[in-house]
């Protein structure tokens, strides 16, 4: 394995559920520490890294809406949950000697910087990890869409989408033992097969801007570094001509 990074700037998308570990709610600090250790590995390589975190381990807006809560209010509550997760990850990263900034799409100056694209890019150029909190700042949009939007705004070369499985399958591999893993898919494959890689809005944004997505297993130590160094890990979603 080469020690030279294959990518200069990446966006890492973490689900809130990734922070659960073995818990049913909240943040598993052992899992948080493991994630931070993996992020530090690529920070030490000099890779410019931005992170978007979901909030599903604390509050899920869609679940609340299904129980009768007004959608916009539920989504704003979900955005606040992402801020909690972002601050928790920032704290653990800083304790490991990693310089970070949290930028929030909802202004809360005592806790985080407001999101300003040029400032975010400057932080990345200065080798600070930037954690984008509060999604897009708008209801009705997921953190997947926020990840796609921020990745394009900062000029990331790829979105690395962390999951608990080792790629994209034809069905849920936990429920269906016959599910087939894909090594590579096009954006249209994902949309037409309804593969739930990211929501349709996020996939469409990536397709329109030719931004590749790599879906990988976060629970395998070292996977983030392997991807950053150009190894084939997980499933890549890209245009037909990607890599040719």
Give pLDDT tens digits for 188-225. 999 999 998 999 999 999 999 999 999 999 999 999 99
Confidence tier at 2 by pLDDT (50, 70, 90): low
How many beta carbons lie within 10 A of that of residue 123, not counting itself?
A: 21
Q: State which H helix or E strand residue 102 sits in.
A: strand 100-104
**Is the model's pLDDT at 91 over the cut of 70?**
yes
**Can you read off the two tokens belonging to residue 133?**
């909190």
pLDDT value at residue 244: 52
Which structural domains are found in the chain, ordered by start? 9-237 (3.40.1160.10)
C-beta separation of 158 from 230 below 8 A: no
Axis crossing angle, helix 143-154 with helix 200-208, rounded to the nearest 10: 20
**Is the model's pLDDT at 116 over the cut of 90?**
yes
Beta bridge partners of 235: 215
Confidence tier at 132 by pLDDT (50, 70, 90): very high
CA 26 – CA 49 distance, rounded (Å): 25
Question: What are the C-alpha distances in Å from 73 to residues 76, 136, 145?
Answer: 5, 15, 18
68 vs 95, more confident: 95
Q: State which H helix or E strand residue 216 sits in.
A: strand 213-217
Give the pLDDT mean for 43-50. Answer: 97
pLDDT value at residue 172: 84
């Amino acid at each position: 394995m080469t020690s030279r990074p294959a990518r200069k700037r990446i966006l890492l998308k973490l689900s809130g559920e990734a922070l659960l570990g073995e818990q049913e709610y909240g943040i598993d600090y052992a899992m948080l520490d493991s994630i931070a250790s993996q992020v530090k590995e690529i920070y030490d390589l000099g890779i410019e890294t931005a992170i978007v975190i979901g909030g599903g381990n604390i509050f899920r807006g869609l679940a609340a809406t299904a129980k009768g809560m007004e959608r916009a209010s539920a989504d704003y509550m979900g955005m606040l949950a992402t801020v909690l997760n972002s601050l928790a990850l920032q704290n653990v990263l800083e304790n490991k000697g990693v310089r970070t900034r949290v930028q929030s799409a909802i202004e809360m100056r005592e806790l985080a910087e407001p999101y300003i694209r040029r400032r975010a890019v400057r932080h990345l150029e200065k080798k600070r990890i930037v954690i984008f909190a509060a999604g897009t700042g708008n209801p009705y949009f997921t953190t997947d869409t926020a990840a796609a939007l921020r990745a394009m705004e900062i000029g990331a070369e790829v979105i690395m989408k962390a999951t608990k499985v080792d790629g994209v399958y034809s069905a849920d591999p936990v429920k269906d033992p016959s599910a087939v893993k894909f090594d590579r898919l096009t954006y249209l494959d994902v949309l037409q097969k309804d593969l739930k890689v990211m929501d349709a809005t996020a996939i469409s944004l990536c397709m329109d801007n030719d931004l590749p997505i790599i879906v990988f297993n976060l629970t395998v130590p070292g996977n983030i570094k392997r991807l950053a160094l150009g190894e084939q890990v997980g499933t890549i979603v890209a245009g037909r001509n990607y890599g040719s």
